[in-house]
Amino acid sequence: MPADYKSAQPELRRSVTPWGSFSWGYSDVGADIFVGLGLVLAWAAGASNVAFLFAGVVYVCIGLAYTELAATYPVAGGGQYFVMRGLGDIFGFIAGWAVLLDFTIDVTLFAWTSVDYSSQLLPALVNSVHPWLHFGVVLGLVVGLCLLNVVGVRESTTFNGVVSALDVISETCILCFGFLFAFRPQLLIHTMQTHWPSPYELMLGTSLAIISFVGLESISQAAQETQRPASIIPRTSVSLILTILIFALAYSNLALGFQPWHPITDAAGHHLQFWQIFPNNPDNQGKAVALLAAQVPYYGAFAALYVPVLGAILLLISSNSGVFGSSRIAYAMSTSNLLPSIFQRVHRKFRTPMISIVFFSVIAVVELVFAAAPALFPGVSSLYTRFFHGENGLGFLADLYAFGAATSYSFVFLGLIGLRLTDPLSPRKFKIPLNVPMRFRGERVEFPIVAVVGFIGIFSILMFTLFTHPLGRIFGPSWLLLGLLFYLVYRRYRRLPVLGSQPRNWRTAQTEILRRAGELELMDEYVANVKASDARRAGQGT
């Protein structure tokens, strides 16, 4: 690792404040509920809140794991770095490659739903009415974001902060008015009793619910630019984790026990409950929060006008974080020799990783074509109906998003367990609760029970994804296999250990990481721990 850190690379400026750290994460994870709510209501029906609860508990475990890891190792590499350090190079690659799938899907999925939210005010953009126009606008957004990132125009932390603050206020108002004037606990219980889904639908809904909690990579990405990360990250992360969990549970409970302001009827004139507008209606699934906001008594009249705009902006920011994040992860993987050095190359004039940005944007466009194909070409639609249970574009993107997230998070839990065992000397200012003290290779370590619980939870969601998503089952593992093949060829070509790991001096690397983070007290503590451990081992040797 010293080669990665001792090179004379320009350092990222540590200018992210506590609110900046929160809003950075919020603009990424907070947008997910705008996508996830409609999809989960469509499949999990009367058990949507249970699906969100299960995914939410897993998400809390993931959030705590990321918080501990990002505070202990404040580098921008994210999940792939933790896994590489805890389990070795090849597992680091798999985790990073799965995150890259998520980031490219993130670009397309959020641009897609951004257009869906806009269609609430501009009906011409409704996908089922004008599929080519919808496709063209999404494509334009993806290409536009790619160009902006190549030129080097990034969203500012201030802009993120303002949009996040507006969204937190807006969602709080929607939920407060909704729970005060439209929520009926008896209706919630009745809906859950009469519209409980089949086990297959519940598994599908739960696997989709996890997409409402994806984006925790941003916590670790922000770590390298946060002031005093070991202190700030745990504070902001806990707030972020709880805020996102509250919004997801509140929306799902509200939607199931919701008495709409204006009666909703189907084509035959029958009254419908609010959640019943989502099954078999991809147009509605893509803009669930805007539809709910418009039905909230009193506040809905105002919310109907601005929520689609706010949602579209927040989703576009999240889409942009996919373009930016994928190039950054590829850059980090490249510096660790997990990907070729071409991904490190920066544009002479703009000083941005142009090749990375364009490469992953092209993949995002390919995913968009796959997602839009059934709506654009009737022949392809019948093919999807025959082989993939008739999945629509939004479903295709959500499948892959859930697959990538579940895979990378599974490895992050294993990485956390690995690091607790192999690196007990690094000071952990934040440690996830419930640990079992034990001895491992002569060192006193603490085994994290929460990581085991989280791993079982996320692994079961991965199994649900593979079992219930016909497209995700094929394309997700294909992405991993293709990447693994590419990795093996690259490592062999570079004469690097193919299945093993490169020798790295993690002690020097850790000291350097803490020094750069400005965590000098932690650095001193780490050096003292290392010296004490060495002295203890020398004493045992004699």
Q: Which residues bind another protein (CB under 8 A)?
A: 49-50, 52-53, 56, 176, 179, 185-186, 188-189, 192-193, 235, 238-239, 242-243, 245-246, 249-250, 252-253
- CB 192, min distance to another protein, A: 4
Which helix (DSSP H) or strand (DSSP E) does residue 518 occupy?
A: none
- CB 186, min distance to another protein, A: 7
- CB 226, min distance to another protein, A: 16
User: What separation, in Å, do the N-terminal and C-terminal C-alpha atoms of the chain show?
Assistant: 31
Of 176 and 481, which CB lies nearer to another protein in the complex structure? Answer: 176
- CB 505, min distance to another protein, A: 37
H-assigned helices in 73-156: 79-87, 89-118, 131-151
Of 94 and 256, which CB lies nearer to another protein in the complex structure? Answer: 256
Q: State the DSSP string of 238-303.
A: HHHHHHHHHHHHHHHHHHHTB--SS-EE-TTS-EE-GGGGSTT-HHHHTTHHHHHHHTSTTHHHHH
Of 50 and 84, which CB lies nearer to another protein in the complex structure? Answer: 50
Q: How many angstroms separate the CA atoms of 373 and 354, rounded?
A: 28
Handedness of CA 327, 332, 338, 340 (dihedral sign): positive
Give the torsion through C-alpha atoms of 359, 364, 365, 366, to 10 deg. 90
- CB 32, min distance to another protein, A: 17
Q: How many angstroms separate the CA atoms of 52 and 41, rounded?
A: 10
Of 250 and 523, which CB lies nearer to another protein in the complex structure? Answer: 250
- CB 26, min distance to another protein, A: 13
The CA-atom distances, in angstroms, between 46 and each of 49, 50, 141 are 8, 9, 35
Q: Is 183 helix (H, G, I), strand (E, B) or coil?
A: strand
Of 49 and 80, which CB lies nearer to another protein in the complex structure? Answer: 49
Q: Residue 228, Cα to own-chain centre: how many angstroms?
A: 24
- CB 243, min distance to another protein, A: 7
- CB 245, min distance to another protein, A: 5
Of 254 and 522, which CB lies nearer to another protein in the complex structure? Answer: 254
Of 119 and 253, which CB lies nearer to another protein in the complex structure? Answer: 253
Q: How many angstroms separate the CA atoms of 431 and 234, rounded?
A: 9
Q: State the DSSP string of 433-458.
A: S-EEEEEETTEEEEEEHHHHHHHHHH
Of 252 and 320, which CB lies nearer to another protein in the complex structure? Answer: 252
Of 60 and 313, which CB lies nearer to another protein in the complex structure? Answer: 60
- CB 247, min distance to another protein, A: 10
Q: Residue 385, Cα to own-chain centre: how many angstroms?
A: 29
Q: How many angstroms separate the CA atoms of 34 and 109, rounded?
A: 11
Q: How many angstroms separate the CA atoms of 262 and 131, rounded?
A: 29
